[in-house]
Amino acid sequence: MFFIVALVLLFLLPSPWNLVGFIGGLIVFVGEVLFWNRKVRSGRKTVGAQTLIGKEATVVSPCRPGGQVRIAGEIWAARCSAGADMGETVTVVGRDGLTVWVEPARTEDADPPSSGR
């Protein structure tokens, strides 16, 4: 964006100011490129199937023990030793090739613990 502004200033401003505007625009453009380059490269990339462990999935076909789950829009083959029905939420606990190992998601009790009275 700043490069385009620098070119416009080169053609629109009168004679010594067109070069001043162009050089100023180029300096700001280079600074912006360096800033975004550093910002983008600093983040660590997390890719691959190992990132699925710990995520929640929805059962697409019953897992007794084999079935399928949907994780982030993708359907994966799954194995669940405890069993899970269609529509249930499960948690990915491991992976073996293209098959993920899942277990039923833990549900928190809605009732608070009793005070012991």
Q: What is the pLDDT of residue 76?
A: 92
Residue type, 23: I
Q: Which amino acid is at 35?
A: F
- Picking from 88, 90, 68, the residue whose alpha carbon sits closest to that of residue 78 is 68
pTM listed for this prediction: 0.53
d(CA 29, CA 10): 14
| Residue 91 DSSP class | E
Strands of the chain, DSSP E: 56-61, 66-71, 74-79, 89-96, 99-104
> For each of the chain's 117 residues, which pLDDT tens digit applies?
788 888 888 888 888 888 888 898 899 999 999 998 888 887 777 777 778 888 999 999 998 889 999 998 889 999 998 888 899 999 999 988 889 999 998 766 545 555 555
